Every structure is written in C-alpha cells, then in structure tokens.
Amino acid sequence: MNIADPAIERLAVAHRLLLEPYGLDESSLAAALAEIRRHRVDYADLYFQYTRSESWGLEEGIVKSGSFGIDQGVGVRAVAGDKTAFAYSDDISVAALHDAARTVRGIASQGAGKVKLASARKPAAVKALYGSFDPLAALDSDAKVALLQKVDRLARAKDPRVKQVMAGLAGEYDVVLVARSDGVIAADVRPLVRLSVTVIAEQDGRREVGSGG
C-alpha cells in the first residue's frame, strides 16, 4: 500500500491552487527571489495564500443567512540588516510577483557582502497536524442545510422547554505556500469547520440561553 508523504501532498495542493492557474512554477519563484538577492539583501521570502470560506445560519428551521468568499494574494519580504520591507498584491501573476520583488529590493544595504544563491529547492519537513482535504467540497449545499435542520430537531427533542434554536455551520479552506531565499519551500493546508448551536429555553416566563460549538 502506498502512503502519501503529507509534505509532498500539501505542496501538490498549493501548486494546484496558487501556482498552476497563474502560469507559475518553482522556477518562477526562484527567479523572483534571485531578482531580490541581486541587490544584496540578507534574506527574502515569498508568501502565497488562498482562502475560501463559507457560512450558513439556520433559525426556526429556515436558512436566514449565508456567505461565501475567496481571498488570495502574494506577499514578498526582504531583510537587510535591521531593516525589513514588505510588498503585497491581490493579483497572483509573474508580473505582480516581479513588481513586488522590485519594490522590496531597494532595502538592500549597499555595504552588504555577496549573497549565496540557493541551489535546488528543498521541501521543508513540517509535521502534518491535519489532512489536506477540502471540507467545503465534502458536502453539497442541500446536505449542509440538512445537517443544520438535524441539529435543530435534535435540540428541540431534548426538552419541551426549548423555544428557539439557531444553528450555524462555518468552514474555511486555507492554503499557504512559502518559498525562502535559502532554498526551502513549504506549504500548509488548513481545513477548518465549526458547527455551532444556540438554544433558548423558557419556563414560567423565565428564559435561559445556552450555546456550544
């Protein structure tokens, strides 16, 4: 049985979402870092991030709220002595990457020595704390609403004094890729899901609220 290396799997996901759609590859990252290093900075890195999120809110058995969003971008950092420069772009492209690199390279110290160019890039060994699956794609919209409706029914069935139930489901799929000037490249995939419920119970005119998630 073949067991996938988590670090390689995370890098593959990051390549698929952050590099390949924009015509980038690891040689593109190396070229951008080389552009910065030519100006004798001490250290530089590239930080790519892709985040997709959604949320659902159910109240009185009806979907009352929902949201969906995608954020992505690339950041460039350069360090020279005690100075640090940052540049960021919402646009992921070869042009945006090199524009950001040119922006930060001016921090270079004129008196700095030669900067050692990194050889072949090497994946960082990072302990996997969770899988690389996409929780937002695990269920379709109908299944997510059905899950919240089930939470609503279960909460009401617990006690006849329950008068109101509000259930929420929020998920996020976050993918990060970092390439450093010392040749290290690392990726992380962070699947986050939160199921929450708020219950209002009433007896003899007195109301109590409880929540969990």
117-161 per-position pLDDT tens digit: 333 445 555 555 667 778 888 889 999 999 999 999 999 999 999
DSSP classification of residue 191: E
Q: For a pLDDT cut of 70, what percent of the chain falls above it?
A: 86
Measured between alpha carbons, how far is 38 from 115 in angstroms, rounded to an integer?
Answer: 8
Tokens of 87: 């540049």
pLDDT digits (tens, 9 = 90+) for 19-37: 999 999 999 999 999 888 8
Helix (H, G, I), strand (E, B) or coil at 16: helix
**Residue 115 in this model has a pLDDT that exceeds 50:** no
Amino acid at position 29, single letter:
L
Question: Does residue 48 fall inside a structural domain?
Answer: yes
Distance between CA atoms of residues 89 and 76, nearest Å: 9
1 belongs to a structural domain: no
**Residue 7 pLDDT exceeds 50:** yes
Domain residue limits at 131: 6-212
Q: Helices (H) and strands (E) in the chain — how many of each?
A: 4, 7
Collect all residues with Cβ–Cβ distance below 8 Å to 99 and sequence separation of at least 6: 87, 89
Which class for 14: exposed (0-12), middle (13-18), buried (19 or more C-beta within 10 A)? Answer: buried
CATH code of residue 97: 3.30.2290.10
Residue 63, burial from CB neighbour count under 10 angstroms (0-12, 13-18, 19+): middle
**Residue 123 counted as domain residue:** yes
Mean pLDDT within 78-97: 89
The rounded Cα 190 to chain-centroid distance in angstroms is: 6
- Total number of domains constituting the chain: 1
**Rg value, the chain, Cα:** 24
In a domain, 47, yes or no: yes
pTM: 0.78
Q: Which residues, in sequence order, are bridge partners of residue 69?
A: 53
Query: Over pLDDT 90: what percentage of the chain?
Result: 57
Here the tokens at position 177 are: 């890729």
74 inside domain: yes
